[in-house]
Amino acid sequence: MPLNSYVTLGRSGLRVSPFCLGAMTFGEDLGGGYGASVTDSEAILSYYLEQGGNFIDTANGYTRGHSEKIIGDFFRQGKGKRERAVIATKFFMNLFAGDPNGGGAGRKAIVSQCEESLRRLQTDYIDLYYLHNWDRFTPIDETMSALDDLVKAGKVRYIGFSDAPAWKVAQAQVMAHFRGWTPLIALQIEYSLMERTVEGELVPMAEELGLGVLPWGPLKSGALTGKYTRANGAKMPGLRGARVGELTEKQYNIIDAVGKVAAECNSDSSTTALAWLKAQPGVSAPIIGARTVGQLQANLKALDLTLTPEQIAALNSASKPVLNFPADFLTHSPSFAHAGATVNGVPSQATFLVPQDDSARW
């Protein structure tokens, strides 16, 4: 599957590449070896676009705004065609110390952050504009109304949410539907073999309400690259290590399972983990980040790897998450409802409540 084998995002007509290019590491402003230089960032952008990619993800807070500026400069200098790219960015992060309205999801904050992003991106419109985190201090109708106004003003084309509870996303989507506001078409959430709890509420909600799932952290900050194994005892460095922490026995079991499947496929762990993720229900386009063109090339290999049902089952088993109630309980629903019949390809078993014959039923 090439990068120009596009998919429609959620319940919309927006066509995007099956892998989205994450630009969180564009810019070296944070120091400590984090991030890519402007030259390397532009090389990554060029390679992605040359391969047919069209979907770029950033945020107002990434490298203190420099990520957006690098993308804006790239297109303004004619190194890529802006009108052929789908640029997604996010609002919420406050870049103005002491200003309570510098971030968040209130109307004043949203409009100001949008104008700042448009200035850095050097464009007249944002293709996909996300709420980066749920703002519990702002009524959701204020947020959705402000986003709808930005769409009507032509400054934003589509909207989405990132890192919000399922109940809040559902509330926003249903509210938009009944008030005739612009609906959400995308949900950006952490999702990987090491973070599958989103399968309990967030992913099913997204499928039901027309939101394409865009997973971030598909390699769990590098933990799924195969570099850190039980055998070598290697520690994850810097910000990555601080975020993931000490690898647990469960995580090492997942790493082992990924390595085994990778060997069967004559592939590597990163490619295998990404191939598993892109095959999951509801997933539109995993977000892949890279600090070099070589890293991007390695990640794109996952587009050509198709895992067998047995390999997917093995990875599912090794990474099975503990989900909140009622996720596990609801796995019994087909048997309660269908009493041994198969419906939509899902088999069931007759429970002890089902009488053996009609005469035993009251």
Closest to 266 measured CA to CA, from 225, 296, 307: 307
Helix (H) or strand (E) holding 188: strand 184-190
Helix (H) or strand (E) holding 112: helix 107-121
Distance CA 287, CA 212 (A): 12
Sign of CA dihedral 141, 60, 69, 62: negative
* Tokens 């448009």 -> residue: 118
Provide the pairing of β-strand 156-162 with 184-190.
Answer: parallel
Q: Which residue is catalytic, options 47, 62, 158, 191?
A: 62
CB atoms within 10 A of CB 221: 19
**129 counts as catalytic:** no
271 contacts 305 by C-beta, under 8 angstroms: yes
* Tokens 């069931």 -> residue: 348
Contacts of 309 (CB under 8 A, 6+ apart): none
User: Is 350 exposed, middle or buried, given 0-12, 13-18 or 19+ CB atoms closer than 10 A?
Assistant: middle
End-to-end, the C-alpha distance of the chain in Å comes to 57
Query: Taking phi first (over 0 means left), then psi (-120 to 50 degrees means alpha), and beta for anything else, what does residue 193 get?
Result: alpha
* Residues assigned a catalytic role: 62
